[in-house]
Structure 1
Amino acid sequence: MNRLRPILYLLGSAAAIYLFGLLFTDILVYLVIALIITTILRPLTNYLQKVYFFGYQIPKFLTILIGFASLIGFIVLFIGLFIPLVSEQINILNKLDYDALYKSVSEPIRAVEAFLIESIPSIGEKGFIIDTLRTNILNFVQTLDFSLLINNFISFTGSFFIAILAVTFISFFMLYEKGLIRRTFISLIPNKYFEVSIGAIYKIESLLSNYLLGLLFQMVSIFTIASVGLSIFGVKYAVTIAVFAAVANLIPYAGPILGSLFGIIVGVTTGGLFEMNNELLFLLVKIVSVFAVVQITDNIVLQPLIFSKSVKAHPLEIFVIIFAGASLAGVVGMIAAIPAYTVIRVVFVELYKGYSQYKIFQN
């Protein structure tokens, strides 16, 4: 029974965390986001606390406010990159000749229809594809309940501001009370398991730190390759496309596809190329070639460096874990799968080593 006690403690703790997550999902999400923000801002706040102005040290609460101001400024700059793009897209939509657009889109569809009817006469009559599409689009527009959309938007806005307040409050006290969660967790560890638990905590912090640094390096690399490549080819809003691609790449496997699709859509719409011609094909080739280089670099260099080296896991492990996270929690699960798996794996490995090597577990 004594040999099974550590495993029972671990399973009980995991079950308690899982039950807490089910009952208080919002609070758990707030804690995780606050922990990420704290991790991002802590180096800046630690540096500011060591700086003296006219012989006086900056108060801790002021360094935290400077950190939050820096984060808000970064977010504002990030959003500001997309404002000119959105403004231009609105102008394009206002000036767009929808009759000509409908004609250019419907012509290839009608050509496909004609080919199918000629090959399989029983498949339908002329216009069976285009008419079905038009009917479905009109039905979708007619069934939209705009009052429900407005109510959902108001509800989302209220929930969003509550989340912002909660995350800001939690993050502030995590930064102010440095190491509060860590000290609280360590104080709950029985002396019998203290050494093994400290070793596990140290390895978890080290691996997660390496993983976050790897992700940062990945984002900077993708941004650099995409922005330089698109700028060389003269694609408008190259920096904006590169920023979106770098952020979207946080989503494993699907992120690069989203980034390339966003680049194609922006390149086509801002270039005003709505008809299939050589100029459009050349533009598509340029954008796709840049993102092909991004994808090859990411798959061959960046991902092995980040996943295999930083979290010390086999690529097949990573593949299975990411899709398991996707099945449990969608896109959020895909992003959080690797850090969560790292924590769980380190805990079990350290517990097994401790059980095998330390006599205190076997008495």
Structure 2
Amino acid sequence: MLAKHKNLIYKTIIAIILIILSIVVYIFFTPIRDVVNLLVISFIIAYTLKPLRNYLSDRLNISAKKSSLLIILLFLLAFVGLLYCIVPSILNESGNFGIMLDSIEEYILTLASRFKIDRLPIFETIYIQVGEKINMVLSSASTNLVDNMISIGENIIGLAVVPITTYYLLADGHLIYNKLLLVFPTDKRVLIKNINNNIDKILSRYILSQLLLSLIIGVLSFVLLLVLRIKFPLVLSIINAIANIIPYFGPIIGGVPIIFMALTGSVTKGLLAAIGVFLIQQVEGNFLAPKITGDSTNMHPIIIIILLILGEKIGGVIGMVLVVPIAVIIKVIYDDIDYYLF
């Protein structure tokens, strides 16, 4: 059996070496990393929108290209409208940041005085150190503000390519797939198609479950924000919904902006927002995720946590979003090769 698949083993080893080299090039060459990120983002968006494209094509009796163009235009209009609504409000509210810090400081001093710990040496030490740390963070943020704005301006040109690439992946994805099949030998194309079908089945189930879970979290967050009368309820709930795609760490990333914005109103509102976010996380982790996601990844939680840390080190937030689906794809490929060839 080993001799029979000796050639395949050699090819597998070569493929692994090429993958490792590709990862090294991705990590250490910024231009290539930027291009790959844009292509990956476009592919994810196109893959997610593919069911909607099929639905519109069947419902409106139009071609895949026309339905793809319609989807892209609708999403661009929605994105521009969202920016038009939130950017002026964010700029107007940015002046409340200092007021929020003063309110938090006053609240802490009031609590310390009430419990008679304001004169303790340890409290004064912690209070001074935390204050210095906050000042350092604010100073660093203000220093890097111009650099960040320039970086965002440079990335706008790159991000403008994403809708175009997404359109072509949606409209001509099947043609690209058929062209890629020609790279493989004829006798291996059936295997490639089987692997692709299994990846599509499992990955679609994973993505749909995450989207449904994120939608529920977004609605719950929106209700919480409306009840507490926190500013920017739609934007913050969307951020929390998107962040929820990241397993385990996502709810924390999405909850911080909600609590932060609540603190601009009052400390009490911030505490209520923190409790509300915690309750939503508990509902998501203990009830919704097990029911909706189930065993779509079929991986142990500790493996997922390790993958998330590795993804963050390699690609930041985008790496954390992509690492689990990539791991699912690799696992499916390994299982299928093991099943069909060995």
Query: Is the shorter-chain TM-score for this pair beyond 0.5, marking a shared fold?
Result: yes
Q: Give the Cα separation in 2 of the matches to 1:109 and 1:285.
A: 17
Q: Which one of 196, 206, 209 corresponds to residue 191 of structure 2?
A: 196
CA contact (8 A) 1:34 1:171 kept: yes
Q: Which one of 340, 343, 353 corresponds to residue 339 of structure 2?
A: 353
Amino acid in the other structure paired with 2:11? Y
Deviation digits for residues 297-316 of structure 1, max 9, x if unmatched? 21123333455432333434
Deviation digits for residues 84-120 of structure 1, max 9, x if unmatched? 75255235358x4987876656677897673136xxx
Superposition map of 1:310-349 within 5 A = 310-349=296-335
- Residue 42 (structure 1) aligns with: 50
Superposition map of 1:118-137 within 5 A = none
Instruction: Provide the identity percentage.
Output: 22
- Residue 288 (structure 2) aligns with: 302
Deviation digits for residues 127-150 of structure 1, max 9, x if unmatched? 66666666677777778895x864
Q: Which one of 89, 92, 100 corresponds to residue 96 of structure 2?
A: 92
- Residue 184 (structure 1) aligns with: 179
Deviation digits for residues 313-335 of structure 1, max 9, x if unmatched? 34343333333333443332221
- Structure 1 residues 299 and 17: CA distance shift in structure 2, 3 A: same
Superposition map of 1:232-311 within 5 A = 232-269=227-264, 271=265, 273=266, 280=268, 283-284=269-270, 286-305=272-291, 307-311=293-297
CA contact (8 A) 1:308 1:315 kept: no
SS of match in other structure, 2:303 = helix
Give the TM-score taking structure 2 as reference length.
Answer: 0.79
Amino acid in the other structure paired with 1:34? S
Superposition map of 1:52-67 within 5 A = 58=62, 61-67=65-71
SS of match in other structure, 2:173 = coil
The count of aligned residue pairs is 332
- In the TM superposition, residue 203 of structure 1 has moved relative to its aligned partner by 0.6
- Residue 153 (structure 1) aligns with: 149
SS of match in other structure, 1:179 = helix
Deviation digits for residues 48-83 of structure 1, max 9, x if unmatched? 44466xxxx756554333221111123234445644
- Residue 70 (structure 1) aligns with: 74
- Structure 1 residues 304 and 187: CA distance shift in structure 2, 3 A: farther
Q: Which one of 12, 23, 30 corresponds to residue 14 of structure 2?
A: 12
CA contact (8 A) 2:210 2:293 kept: no
Superposition map of 1:17-36 within 5 A = 17-23=19-25, 24-36=32-44
Q: Give the Cα separation in 2 of the matches to 1:98 and 1:174.
A: 47
Unaligned ranges ≥5, structure 2: 26-31
Amino acid in the other structure paired with 1:16? L
- Structure 1 residues 303 and 169: CA distance shift in structure 2, 3 A: same
Unaligned ranges ≥5, structure 1: 118-125, 275-279, 357-363
- In the TM superposition, residue 347 of structure 1 has moved relative to its aligned partner by 0.8
Q: Give the Cα separation in 1 of the matches to 2:338 and 2:233.
A: 50
Amino acid in the other structure paired with 2:73? A
CA contact (8 A) 2:214 2:242 kept: yes
CA contact (8 A) 2:260 2:270 kept: no
- Residue 122 (structure 1) aligns with: none
Q: Give the Cα separation in 1 of the matches to 2:261 and 2:80.
A: 21
